Amino acid sequence: MRRWRYKSGAAARLRYMQAERTAKDPMLALQGVTPVALAEALSIPLAEARKVVSAVHREKDLAVPLREVRRASLDRVRAEGVVPALQLIREESSQLDPFRKLLFSDGRGELFETVRIPLERAGRFSVCVSSQIGCALACAFCATGRLGLRRNLEVWEIVEQVRWVRRGLGEGERVHGVVFQGMGEPMANLDRVIEAIRVLSDPSAQAIDARCITVCTSGLPTGIRRLARELPKVRLGLSVGSAVPQARRSLMPIDDTFSLDEVLDAAIFHAQTTGLAPMWAMTLLHGVNDGDEHAAALADRALDFTRRAGVRPRVSILAYNHIDSEEADPFSRTPRAREEAFREVMRQRGVFTHKRYSGGSDVAAACGQLAARPSTHGGTENPHACALGFEGTR
């Protein structure tokens, strides 16, 4: 097989990611590349690369000739590219709301999850994607954190989650946005997350407006700054945990490395660079971070942020979703009256909050609940087994 030729920019990024591919698996996953990267990697004209990427994302058969793509270029694509498929293990629809959770296998014995989130406007959906299988950051209120990090998802595996949801939509329905809030810390897999966003927002690929893509983090400052520089249209979400340092440290071990001060400095850089207000997510845990002093500290942080960044954070209050049986779970949900009191303390200090509904809790699809377990069904399948134009697993 011909070796990849890399020239610059997009192809260099591709080379970096391809370097981690095993010798057993040397093919290029076509749904994980932008037209620019494909053109540079295969030395084909950009216009042809656009046609190929468009055909891949619109699931056209690459086994037959494509209009306006020379045969020599298409032969090169066929020789060096594949369109791998995820294997859908289970799809569960919530009985409580229109949320839907999809459980995928990577074909190597690992499982991960994706959630289809209905938006207010009928027929529009957001896709909550995973960026890692498991997570090393071990936030105490998150089921994924209990798994430890198993591996980073590849670019195509992130993109494929969105493609899959799109395939299941009916007439007139569409994917409006993507939120990186599934399994994993996206900033810890940022090379691939950035590349996936480039693909998702490319007009030839998924054509999702970058302003409708949000990357949610527990707070890795370097990643936040890089996201601002490289993808200035993409929104930032922050999981706060608590604005009281001791409480935050007890809930989020990452606080030992990066304090909330450092995270917010990076978030201010993001806001100033992009002009976008971040979303702050605060999951209330009864008796842990839902007291008046926590509300006051959070409000003070929000006011300080507004002063320094020039934009107001959108503070979302989330109810805790059990990650264990109620008896075994170390946390419990904040009663409604306490939640209202928390929000009132913030309101009195001039900070208005939003109550965010996190749906699908009956199928463990709500925030914090994603915890696909390692598969017991072997692991011998080749995830790239699917030849061009024959996407098998649906």
Residues classed as catalytic:
113, 367
In the complex, the smallest distance separating the C-beta of residue 184 from ligand SF4, rounded to whole angstroms, is: 5
Helix (H) or strand (E) holding 164: helix 155-167
CA–CA dist 283, 394 (Å, integer): 35
CA 19, 223, 235 angle in degrees (round to 5)?
A: 115
Of 73 and 218, CB closest to ligand SF4? 218
DSSP secondary structure, 286-338, as one string: TTTT-SHHHHHHHHHHHHHHHHHHSS--EEEEEE---SS-TTT-S--BPPHHH
Tokens of 133: 């299988």
User: 148 to each of 133, 139, 215, 355, 382, how far by Cα in Å?
Assistant: 9, 10, 20, 30, 24
Place of tokens 């304090």: 259
Cα of first residue to Cα of last residue in the chain, in angstroms, is 30
In the complex, the smallest distance separating the C-beta of residue 134 from ligand SF4, rounded to whole angstroms, is: 8
Number of residues interacting with ligand SF4: please give it, by CB under 6 A. Answer: 11
The correct pick among 32, 81, 118, 145 for binding ligand SF4 (CB under 6 A) is: 145
Which window, 103-111, 139-147, 311-319, 380-388, contacts ligand SF4 (CB under 6 A)? 139-147
HSE of 312 in the Cβ direction (CA atoms, 13 Å)?
10
Neighbours of 110 (CB within 10 A): 18
Residue 87's SS3 state is strand
Binding mask 184-223 for ligand SF4 (x = CB under 6 A): xx--------------------------------x-----
The correct pick among 31, 94, 144, 334 for binding ligand SF4 (CB under 6 A) is: 144
The correct pick among 36, 135, 212, 288 for binding ligand SF4 (CB under 6 A) is: 135
If binding is defined by CB under 6 A, does position 281 make contact with ligand SF4? Answer: no
Binding mask 216-255 for ligand SF4 (x = CB under 6 A): --x--------------------x----------------
If binding is defined by CB under 6 A, does position 388 make contact with ligand SF4? Answer: no
Task: Name the CA dihedral angle for 269, 270, 276, 279, rounded to a multiple of 10 degrees.
Answer: -110
Which window, 20-28, 83-91, 134-142, 330-338, contacts ligand SF4 (CB under 6 A)? 134-142
Which window, 137-145, 155-163, 329-337, 352-360, contacts ligand SF4 (CB under 6 A)? 137-145
If binding is defined by CB under 6 A, does position 139 make contact with ligand SF4? Answer: yes
Tokens of 278: 């971040």
Neighbours of 92 (CB within 10 A): 17
The correct pick among 27, 88, 119, 138 for binding ligand SF4 (CB under 6 A) is: 138
Output the residue with the shortest Cβ distance to ligand SF4.
145
User: 330 to each of 325, 338, 358, how far by Cα in Å?
Assistant: 10, 19, 20
Of 113 and 185, CB closest to ligand SF4? 185
Interacting residues with ligand SF4 (CB under 6 A): 135, 137-139, 142, 144-145, 184-185, 218, 239
